[in-house]
Amino acid sequence: MYLAIRARHSIAAFAAAAIISFASPASAQEVAESHLKAARAAITALTATEQFDSILPQAAAALRGELIQKNPDLVQVITRLVDEETIALAPRRGDLEREAAVIYAKIFSEQQLNEIAAFYNSDTGRKLLEDGALVARQVHEAAGIWQRGIARDLARSVGTKLDEITSANAANAQQPTEGDEAQQVNQ
């Protein structure tokens, strides 16, 4: 009995958190259906929401682990229930897609979304998606090398100029001035 109550509370808490996280003032009615369609196409082309595919399985695994730890004698029952409820909640993944489409539609025009989708569905766009992280990492490494080189060259250049100035100041300090020369002649 305790397990059933605890499981219901955990599932209810998870469901409430999911509902709250998807609740937003953005409404699909505020955006034309064609605009939302373009947004969905752009999101799909960008694979913008794929990173969230693991949320439900991770929540299920965490709940399963928590419940099994408290009730190790009910492993099979817990596993079956968590799996069944996870599968029942899977269609709600579409809620995130709708919210993401509304967000994209509010930021980009329908034409821009169509252009984004067209680009990222092209061979070049797919290549950018596949290798963009690698390129970004290598550019970051190159920037680090460049930064160290530019800092070294700046320090070297400024050091050389400072040496020239301090040497010139030291030489000027050792040369007698006109007033000093006049005093030496009068003596």
Q: How many domains does the chain have?
A: 2
Q: Tell me the three state secondary structure of residue 110.
A: helix
Q: Do 48 and 8 fall into the same domain?
A: yes
Q: What is the pLDDT of residue 140?
A: 97
Answer yes or no: is 185 within a domain.
no
CA 105/CA 120 separation, integer angstroms? 17
Amino acid at 12: A
Q: How many angstroms separate the CA atoms of 114 and 35, rounded?
A: 9
Q: Scanning the structure block, which residue is given the tokens 């569905």?
A: 121
Is residue 180, in this structure, part of any structural domain at all? no
Structure tokens at 88: 């029942």
DSSP state of 31: S
Please check whether residues 76 and 133 belong to one and the same domain.
no
- Pair 91, 47 in one domain: yes
Q: Are residues 23 and 113 in the same domain?
A: yes
Report d(CA 177, CA 77) in Å as an integer: 101
Residues 170, 81 within the same domain: no
* Chunked mean pLDDT (size 10), the chain, 187 residues: 45 44 50 95 95 95 97 96 96 94 96 97 96 96 97 97 91 72 57
Last residue of a domain, one of 84, 103, 121: 121
Contacts of 28 (CB under 8 A, 6+ apart): 36, 98, 101, 102
Q: Are residues 90 and 76 both part of a single domain?
A: yes
Q: Where are the alpha helices (DSSP H) in the chain?
A: 2-22, 33-46, 55-70, 75-89, 93-107, 110-121, 123-174, 178-186
Examine the domain organization and report whether 72 and 133 are in the same domain.
no
pLDDT at 103: 96
Task: Tell me the residue range of the domain where 139 lies.
Answer: 124-174
38 inside domain: yes
The C-alpha R_g of the chain, in whole angstroms, comes to 34
Q: Are residues 158 and 93 in the same domain?
A: no
